[in-house]
């Protein structure tokens, strides 16, 4: 299995701040990396696919970068609705695996 | 706008079989460009991939669950289903269905999720 490790596990920030979340794969996964946002009691929402492609209707303050084994989700200018848990997911192997999540808190 | 909706019992007894369905509205399940998947999330924990199916019937399963999982599709009802046998308390989770884009394999539409509790 390809293991996905996110850091940090939790992150405190304020409205207007910029933050980065890192996701590391246990082996190279090319650009097969997706990012999701999950709010309490809700299903995950796709933000970024193929490492850096912004999903339709997702604000441009979200961006993704990286390839191989290290990937970064960046949020520039945090808004109140951005405080949530973020997950990365690799789709390089048919056994899709998720990171453990990063909780972004005020 | 595509919508997915999970349905099924919210309580299952240990050793029995968990059965859920996902109804797809606003689009056809018979699309060659998509797979249809199941994901679960134990309370307070992270996401675990269960498996997926193509309308043609082709399936992929998480090896850790493969011996207990069956995913099927009913194109006439625009539905796909999950069966998980011999459940234990460790299978208690919110179960989500989702659409998977072929190729890059990202999950672009999700159901709202349904909590299934395994308890006697």
Residue B104: pLDDT band with limits 50, 70, 90? confident
Number of H helices, E strands in chain B: 0, 11
| Mutation target vs A (from B101, B106, B110; most A CBs, 10 A cutoff) | B106
Give the separation between CA B95 and CA A46, rounded to whole angstroms: 17
Q: What is the spatial distance between Cα A91 and Cα B102, in angstroms, rounded to a whole number?
A: 10
Beta-bridged to residue A40, according to DSSP, are: none
pLDDT tens digit string along B26-54? 999 999 999 999 999 999 999 999 999 99
Q: For tokens 């056994």, what's the residue?
A: A95
For residue B67, what are the contacts with CB-CB under 8 A and spacing of at least 6? none
pLDDT at B81: 98
Within A1-106, residue ranges assigned H as helices are none
Chain B residue nearest residue A89, CA to CA? B106
In tens, the pLDDT along A63-90 reads: 999 999 999 999 999 999 999 999 999 9
**Residue A94 contacts residue A2 (beta carbons within 8 Å):** no
Residue B93 tokens read as 């989770």
| Residue of B63, B107, B112 with shortest CB distance to A46 | B107
- Tell me which chain B residues have a C-beta less than 8 angstroms from the C-beta of A87: 46-47
Distance from the B37 Cα atom to the nearest Cα atom in chain A, whole angstroms = 11
What distances in angstroms separate CA A98 from CA A81, A89, B48, B68, one per listed residue?
23, 4, 7, 21
For A39-69, the pLDDT digits (tens) are 999 999 999 999 999 999 999 999 999 999 9
Contacts of B63 in chain A (CB under 8 A): 95
Query: For residue A101, how far is the Cα from the chain centroid?
Result: 8
Provide residues of B within 8 Å CB-CB of chain A: 46-49, 60, 62-63, 96, 98, 101, 104-108, 110-113
């Amino acid at each position: 299995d390809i293991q996905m490790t996110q850091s940090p596990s939790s992150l405190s920030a304020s409205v207007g701040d910029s933050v980065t979340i890192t996701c590391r794969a246990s082996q190279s996964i090319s650009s097969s990396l997706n990012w999701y946002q999950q709010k309490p009691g809700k299903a995950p929402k796709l933000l970024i696919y193929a490492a850096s492609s912004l999903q339709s209707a997702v604000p441009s303050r979200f961006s993704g970068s990286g390839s191989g084994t290290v990937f970064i989700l960046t949020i520039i200018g945090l808004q109140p609705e951005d405080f949530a848990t973020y997950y990365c997911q690799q789709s390089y192997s048919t056994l899709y695996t998720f990171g453990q999540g990063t909780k972004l808190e005020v | 706008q595509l919508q997915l909706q999970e349905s099924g019992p919210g309580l299952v007894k240990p050793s029995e079989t968990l059965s859920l369905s996902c109804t797809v509205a606003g689009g056809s399940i018979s699309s060659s460009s998509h797979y249809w998947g199941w994901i679960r999330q134990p309370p307070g924990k992270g996401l675990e991939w269960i498996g997926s199916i193509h309308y043609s019937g082709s399936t992929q399963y998480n090896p850790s669950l493969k011996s207990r999982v069956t995913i099927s599709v009913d194109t006439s009802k625009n539905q796909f289903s999950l069966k998980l046998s011999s459940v234990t308390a460790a299978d208690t989770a919110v179960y989500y269905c989702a659409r998977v884009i072929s190729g890059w394999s990202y999950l672009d539409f999700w159901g709202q999720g349904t909590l299934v509790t395994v308890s006697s």
